[in-house]
Amino acid sequence: MKQILFSGMIGLILSLLGTPALIKVLAKHGYGQYIRDDGPKAHHSKKGTPTMGGIAFILATLIAYFATKAITGESPTASGLLVLFLTAGLGLVGFLDDYIKVVKRRSLGLRAKAKLAGQSIVGLGFAILAMQFPDDRGLNPASQSLSFVRDFKWAIGPVLFVIFAYFMIAAMSNGVNLTDGLDGLATGASVMVFGAYTFIGIWEHTQSCAYAITATANCYDIRDPLDLAVVASALMGSCFGFLWWNTSPAKIFMGDTGSLALGGALAGLAICSRTELLLALLGGLYVIITLSVIIQVGSFRMTGKRVFKMAPLQHHFELKGWTEVLIVVRFWIIQGLCVAVGLGLFYAGWVTG
């Protein structure tokens, strides 16, 4: 368990101290946020705020993980490395998107096809690799069975698994991206979900079938549950440190660099911990905000009318007159409730076997 404490603390300290240094570098080069003219007027004051802040917590997470391994003498695992690959890979795609926006002054960033290609290479690469690297019990980082609080009893096969995993990765990365519209909103919500996955990893490790004296339906067949908790703890600590600077009024934004990386990390943790469908509840805020966009676009195309004043949902409440801090705190409460219910169902699944 020392690994979990070390990774979380190292990630927190590095992100807390490293983010202001990144702010200075980005501000010096004029890498500021582009603000849409059709967005809420209150956002116009944020124009020029340094963006691409995801660099800070991605690097903090990577350093925290490998430093923890060096300190404790433990070896990295396939599951941990794959989640970090997915996180850093999507972060790179997001960085290219941000770089084109702020440096090349092209407001839409990467072309849609180029962005999709980048996400596809990383996402499909993760899905394919996650079915490799069996351990001495024959367990791979990912299972070809769908899961809720543990695997269902039937497998969908490698092709359908790759398609499903890619859908999950794309949905979560875009969901976090849509949520990242107010100071600290996506960062704070992510801290809660990574905290949940730290607990899930610890629980699956202590209740692993590898340690079961006799066969029991309650044990978990997961390849590297403890190392997934180490990765989740590093991400939680790194995001916590970044939140100090990202909370209102934000000194830096995570940009697509951060939001795509966080979404990928969440999907990777869910896939490797066999809690794929549970992620829709643990990350309930992302789901709600994504649905608001789908409803808005669908309603406008079918009826010519908008359901919300503006989508994503947080901007609807801004236009209704809610202050930014009020929206963020209330949305955090919603996210906290989603995590609490999700963990409750996870525990109930263990109790009932």
Look up residue 132 and give its two tokens. Answer: 């490799």
Strand partners, 220: 208
Which residues, 6 or more positions from 241, have their beta carbon under 8 angstroms from its beta carbon? 11, 12, 13, 14, 15, 16, 17, 18, 19, 56, 57, 60
Environment class of 112 (CB within 10 Å of its CB; exposed 0-12, middle 13-18, buried 19+): exposed
3-state secondary structure 111-151: CHHHHHHHHHHHHHHHHHHCCCCCCCCCCCCCCCEEECCCE
256 assigned ligand-binding residue:
yes
Beta partners for residue 145, in sequence order: 155
What values do phi and psi take at 32, rounded to 5? -105, 165
Q: Phi and psi for 154 in degrees, rounded to 5? A: -120, 145
Q: How far apart are the first and last CA of the chain?
A: 25
Question: How crowded is residue 2: how many other Cβ atoms within 10 Å of its Cβ?
Answer: 11
What is the residue whose two structure tokens read 């490698």? Answer: 158
Question: 246 labelled as ligand-binding?
Answer: no
**Torsion-angle region of 164 (φ positive above 0: left; ψ -120 to 50: alpha; else: beta):** alpha
CA distance 201 to 89: 23
Binding residues for Mg(2+): 177, 256
Binding residues: 177, 256
